[in-house]
Structure 1
Amino acid sequence: MRSLEKANLVLTEFEQLANTNTTNPIDPKEGYKVGVDLGTSSIVLVVLDAGNQPVFGAFEFADVVRDGLVVNYQQSVQIVKRLKQQAEEVLGFSLAAASGAVPPGTVGNNKRVIANIIESAEMRADQLIDEPTAAALLLELSEGAVIDVGGGTTGISVFKEGSPIYVVDEPTGGTHMTLVIAGYYQETVKEAEKRKRDKKQERQNFTIVRPVVQRMAEITRCALAKYPTEPLIVVGGAASFEEIEKEFSVYLNQEVYKPIYPQFVTPIGIAMSSTIIYGEG
């Protein structure tokens, strides 16, 4: 898939920036875009140039969102402020605005709270996009489905001619994987979360959480029974297991693809959706 190859180049560049606290040169007068992704296990801030190339990235692990809802507003604001300050110190200019994202189907006050967090972090709230549509922007997906495996839910969005025609979001995600690991080892959720992120234990961990992954695949199968499509692309922080796309492919009897850093697909897509901001150098 050519579009996936292009997305992987952007993801690789962003991952390097996010893990080294460095920036690519940019003149704010030429325009930039900012995205903030409030995930179940982490908050990510993305800065792109006007051509959607990564300029800066930063993230912080957090427990402020559960099942798509913000449960700790103040901590969310504090983390976004820290990430914004970190970005401004490296970039050398202030970030004026940022876009955010919400789970599919989010309406009313639950949607507005994301904008409030961005504004409380001293940025203007720009666009509010649903998460699968954000992911589809980076993936250049006009036909097919995005399987977004988040911390609290698995969301499937089927796209036709560039627009979502069917969306479902079910409460099975990375948190459920952590709970299964905690039960298996008779340890705390915090200990299990740390174990889940340990690459050295990935193979054993995946064996333990396979029933959860199969439940995610079943949610996908039900969606595809109504709207069969291809390609299928799995994204999200909980999709980081190396074998997850293979498990989906076997269960669905259809090839499933995964970008190189699936946890950063939606955050970058959020930034891509933003209006270009022209700042002072």
Structure 2
Amino acid sequence: MNSSMTAVNELLIEAATMVNDDSLAPYRGSFKVGIDLGTADIQTVVLDENNQPLACYLDWADVVQDGVVVDYHGACLIVKDQLRRANERLGIDIEQATTSFPPGTDPRISINVVESAGIEVAGVIDEPSSVATLLKLQNAAVVDIGGGTTGTAIIENGQVVKSVDDPTGGHHITLTLAGHHHMSYEDAELLKRSDTSGEVLSIVKPVIAKMADLVKQHIAEHAPPAIYLTGGCCALQGFAKVFAAEFQDVEVIFPTQPLYLTPLAIAAFGATESVRQQRAG
């Protein structure tokens, strides 16, 4: 694990403590905002100029499928509400944000939603590449396993040389659970998020192994020394251990709060774009 990952883990722990916290915390200074439109959730993260979390909002939502917004109106309403809550919590006026997209999909999809929420798009980057940038990776792979897709970025000599997306993620784990237990998709999703017994893991191991196999194919010609995991699907208890077992010669590094790593990285990317920084007060 590099030193940047250690520092970012501390930021993730801090961000997790303030998710959907509307208590007033007036802020004065420069800040930057990241908006992550995921298959299973939408998140807005506000950071100060040193990447310290100031506000973090998450709504579970089924408005995006395979990188496509299937409920445009719903997505816009959620983003607008999260921005409103962040403004009220911090006493600021958010005018711009950075957003992201799964590799291989049209970035305009996310851009349109953010602009429809009434703010300017300060920057856009594919999801795994944002994590690679935040962690200052030189030679590694980043695997972002979200609700519907698995994005893989390969970094060599500090540059992203390959970025691909596969249509598999937490959605497929939920489908497997639903079929196994003969329950509704909604009930299976709740079981997946709440399980602490390891029951879910025992059922979905083949799905995780399939995800790992896809990643193996992408990295085969590059042989990165380490894989950095991110994405909400990785938060499933025992996921990292099962995934890592498929890579005998590659170190698999797991963040403390994988659900929040990509949104935090998207927000932090705003600084690297040399965008006009927003200031409160």
Q: TM-score range by the shorter chain?
A: over 0.9
2:280 and 2:171 map into 1 onto residues whose CA distance is 42
RMSD: 1.5
Whether 1:259 aligns to 2:260 is: no
- Following superposition of structure 1 onto structure 2, how do residues 59-208 of structure 1 map, counting pairs within 5 Å? 59-106=58-105, 110-201=106-197, 203-208=198-203
Percent of pairs with identical residues: 37
- Give the deviation of 1:105 after TM superposition: 2.2
Give the counterpart letter for 1:178 in structure 2: T
TM-score when scaled to structure 2?
A: 0.93
Q: Which runs of 5+ in 2 are unaligned?
A: none
Structure 2 SS opposite 1:197:
helix
Please identify runs of 4+ aligned residues in structure 1 that moved more than 4 A: 22-25
- Give the deviation of 1:19 after TM superposition: 4.8
1:259 and 1:182 map into 2 onto residues whose CA distance is 28
TM-score when scaled to structure 1?
A: 0.93
- Give the deviation of 1:276 after TM superposition: 4.9
Match of 1:210 in 2: 205
Q: 1:34-81, CA deviations, whole angstroms, 9 ceiling, x for partnerless residues?
A: 000000111000001112111111111100111111111000000001
Task: Classify 1:19/1:93 alpha carbon distance in 2 versus 1 (closer, same or farther; 3 Å).
Answer: closer
2:219 and 2:116 map into 1 onto residues whose CA distance is 40
2:69 and 2:214 map into 1 onto residues whose CA distance is 24
Q: Which runs of 5+ in 1 are unaligned?
A: none
Structure 2 SS opposite 1:252:
coil
Tell me if structure 2 keeps the 8 A contact 1:26–1:49: no
Task: Compare the two structures and name the one with the higher helix fraction.
Answer: 1
- Following superposition of structure 1 onto structure 2, how do residues 17-96 of structure 1 map, counting pairs within 5 Å? 17-22=18-23, 26-27=27-28, 30-96=29-95
Match of 1:244 in 2: 239
Structure 2 SS opposite 1:63:
coil
- Give the deviation of 1:182 after TM superposition: 0.2
Give the counterpart letter for 2:219 in structure 1: L
Give the counterpart letter for 2:51 in structure 1: N
2:211 and 2:263 map into 1 onto residues whose CA distance is 21
Task: Classify 1:71/1:85 alpha carbon distance in 2 versus 1 (closer, same or farther; 3 Å).
Answer: same
Give the counterpart letter for 2:9 in structure 1: N
2:35 and 2:278 map into 1 onto residues whose CA distance is 18
Tell me if structure 1 keeps the 8 A contact 2:68–2:109: no
- Give the deviation of 1:143 after TM superposition: 1.5
Equivalent residue pairs, number? 275
Tell me if structure 2 keeps the 8 A contact 1:213–1:247: yes
Task: Classify 1:24/1:5 alpha carbon distance in 2 versus 1 (closer, same or farther; 3 Å).
Answer: farther
